[in-house]
Amino acid sequence: MDANIETDAQSAYRLEDQVGFKLRLANQKHLELFSRMMPDVTPTQFAVLARLRETGPLSQNHLGRLVGMDAATTKGVVDRLKAKGFVGSARSQTDMRRLDISLTDAGHIFVEDAVKIAQDITRATLHNLTPRERERLLVLLDKL
pLDDT one-digit tens code per residue, 88-115: 999 878 877 788 999 999 999 999 999 9
Angle between helical axes of 43-55 and 105-125 (0-180°, round to 10)? 120
Give the separation between CA 109 and CA 117, rounded to whole angstroms.
Answer: 13
The mean per-residue pLDDT over the stretch 109-128 comes to: 97
- The pLDDT value given to residue 98: 85
Query: Does residue 10 carry a pLDDT above 60?
Result: yes
**pLDDT band (50, 70, 90) for residue 7:** low
* Backbone torsions φ then ψ of 100, nearest 5 degrees: -95, 135
Region of poorest pLDDT, from 9-13, 14-18, 21-25: 9-13
**Is 3-143 a CATH 1.10.10.10 domain?**
yes
